[in-house]
Homo-oligomer: A and B are copies of this chain.
Amino acid sequence: MHKNALVRDLLKEKQSELTAAERKLSAVLLDDSLLSGLQSITRLAELAEVSSPTIIRLARKLGFEGFSDMQGAIRNEIGARMKQPLAKLDAQAPTDSRGHIVSRFIEAVSGNINRTLERLDLAEFDQVAALLSDPSRRLYLLGGRITRSNAHYFFNHLQIIRPQVTLLDSSPSVWPQSLLDMDADAVLIVFDIRRYEKELEKLANLAVAQGASIVLFTDAWGSPIENYARFCFRAMVEVPSSWDSTLAINFLIEALVAEVQSRSSVQSADRIAALEQMIGESRIFRSN
């Protein structure tokens, strides 16, 4: 019975029946594709911070005679996986012959991120990081219908890291007020993927006219805002879905956050500490 089943699947399948220590162990095993299961039971026990009996109990729970038996199965499993040309998400395809949506999705997404990075100019990335770390700059973030979430995510982090960060409202009617403040020190970070929104372009145009610098995040085809942008990141967005994927854009955002944080760490340490305290004090929904 267990001869056919893969240890990995068994682990996932019986996850709910596992105890706390067993789940800890299971996490360690799954964490590196069962590879840690090839060590001696003692080492594995130390690595997973459980005792060796726990390991044996888990092995038995999965249907093996003991640890050695399971280890043999793991070795076979890894061997089988290695002989496959490309180790991609093993398509078990329970419902669909062309593979589960998750399998197809991960394939597309990894391609998107890869190609986005291929086109990424690291020097440009560094320049943008420097720009966003400059405390004398004022940052404004703006997104479209869908990309507003990305703008919000970026804003969320930047606002904690440094002062002078503004997320523009989703309603264009209140933009003019912010526009007033955009001078040569201002940086407008715009997200605009298809379908490109005319309002965004209009605002970008006006901002540039006032001297602001624009950092644009767009898709492979390029928003019309490219013409006004000082810096431009193009990300791949196509996936097997009715919707575009902004994962590559999110990747760029997170990498920028990391870099801006490390460049601003000295100044932002106090800022974050102060924030933590304010959060603690202003907790409304008391949890006592």
Name the distance in Å between A216's Cβ and chain B's nearest Cβ. 15
Contacting pair B84 A113 (CB below 8 A): no
**CA A105 – CA B122 in complex, angstroms?**
13
A255 CB contact (under 8 Å) in B95, B101, B118, B198? B101
Q: In the complex, what residue of chain B is closest to A13 when comparing beta carbons?
A: B121
Shortest beta-carbon distance, A181 to chain B, in Å? Answer: 18
A19 within 8 Å of B (CB atoms): no
Q: For residue A26, which residue of chain B has the nearest CB? A: B119
- With an 8 A cutoff between CB atoms, is A83 at the interface? yes
Instruction: Kindly state whether residue A62 has any CB partner on chain B within 8 Å.
Output: no
Closest to A261 in B: B242
Identify the stretch in A48-56, A148-156, A207-215 within 8 Å (CB) of chain B at 4 or more residues: A148-156
Q: How far is the CA of A220 from the CA of B26 in the complex (A)?
A: 12
Closest chain B residue to A68, Cβ basis: B40
Closest to A87 in B: B114
Contacts of A127 in B (CB 8 A): none
- Chain B residues lying within 8 Å of A247, measured Cβ to Cβ, are 247, 250-251, 254
Using known A-B contacts A87-B82, A122-B102, determine if residue A285 contacts B241 with beta carbons closer than 8 Å.
no
Apart from A84-B87, A149-B156, A239-B254: 10 A-B pairs, beta carbons within 8 A: A12-B119, A35-B78, A38-B75, A109-B113, A157-B243, A198-B283, A199-B287, A241-B254, A246-B250, A247-B254
Q: List 14 A-B contacts (CB under 8 A).
A: A12-B121, A35-B79, A35-B82, A86-B114, A92-B122, A101-B258, A102-B125, A109-B251, A173-B285, A198-B285, A199-B285, A202-B287, A245-B254, A247-B254
